[in-house]
Amino acid sequence: MGVAKGATLVIAKITNGCTGYSDESTQILAFNWLAANAPAGTIVNFSLAYSNADNNCFTPFFSLPLENAIIAAHNAGIIVVVAAGNDGCDTANFSPTNIPQAFVVGATTQLRLPGVDAKWYLSRTGWNISTFSPGRDVRVMDQNGSTITASGTSFAAPYVAGIFAIACQTAGTTYCKTRGTANLYTDLRNTGTLNTVTNSDGTPLTGATSRFIRQQW
């Protein structure tokens, strides 16, 4: 299981117990630590979406301190892959999916025509989404080591983080350490295939770039 099976994983726990809830201050601390200590070319997956208290798409929620921490990590050469979110809203209205320093990933479902994925109906849209990847009924491993299926942009984002790892291995670690994060984002986007993601009903995708990145290495 997994995309980059040879990658070295370092798990950083930022949640409170097993609740899935994480204090904003802990997230900021984590990204500031990465900016100060992690080597350039480090790949981080952040599958945690922000929404407002009433889960209303039209009430934006921003955290400038979190955005600044991610920007600092990005500027230090850290690749920050972020899940788009699962409320169908626009990524532009929420941190940190609103900043270009985050490589934002939306989710697709395979229940369309062969060769064409549709946006998973709960996936956020927005022009800051760098790519879509599989996010419905993804085979993953639970905390007990058993194979299960799960859905969400939280499972689409790690897929792309794994592709980053394979791409860096293929290009050489020096390339990913010196290329610069913004350039690495562009490089990976350019490997994607355009016009391969539709709206949930199969019509041409609106509100985001129709890009799907497949494992090619």
- What is the pairing mode between strands 79-83 and 197-198? unpaired
> Is residue 5 assigned to a domain?
no
Q: What confidence score (pLDDT) does residue 114 get?
A: 61
CA 210 to chain centre: 16
Q: Is 106 helix (H, G, I), strand (E, B) or coil?
A: strand
Q: What confidence score (pLDDT) does residue 113 get?
A: 59
Q: What confidence score (pLDDT) does residue 141 get?
A: 77
Whether 88 and 122 have beta carbons less than 8 Å apart is answered as yes
> Is residue 4 assigned to a domain?
no
Quote the Cα angle for 189-27-99, to 5°.
35
Q: Which CATH number covers residue 188?
A: 3.40.50.200
> Is residue 13 assigned to a domain?
no
> Is residue 200 assigned to a domain?
yes
| Whole-number Å distance between alpha carbons of 208 and 203 | 13
Peptide bond just before 65 cis, omega within 30 deg: no
Domain count, the chain: 1
What stretches in the chain show pLDDT beneath 70? 1, 52-55, 111-115, 215-217
Q: What confidence score (pLDDT) does residue 49 get?
A: 73
Q: What confidence score (pLDDT) does residue 59 get?
A: 84
- Output the six-digit token pair for 96: 């940190």
| Whole-number Å distance between alpha carbons of 105 and 82 | 6
- Output the six-digit token pair for 10: 């370092």
> Is residue 19 assigned to a domain?
no
Q: What confidence score (pLDDT) does residue 69 get?
A: 97
> Is residue 45 assigned to a domain?
yes
> Is residue 12 assigned to a domain?
no
Closest CA to 8 of 165, 156, 135: 165
Q: What confidence score (pLDDT) does residue 171 get?
A: 86
Find the domain containing 59 and state its range: 24-212
Spell out the residues 6+ positions from residue 186 whose beta carbon is closer than 8 angstroms to its own: none
> Is residue 194 assigned to a domain?
yes
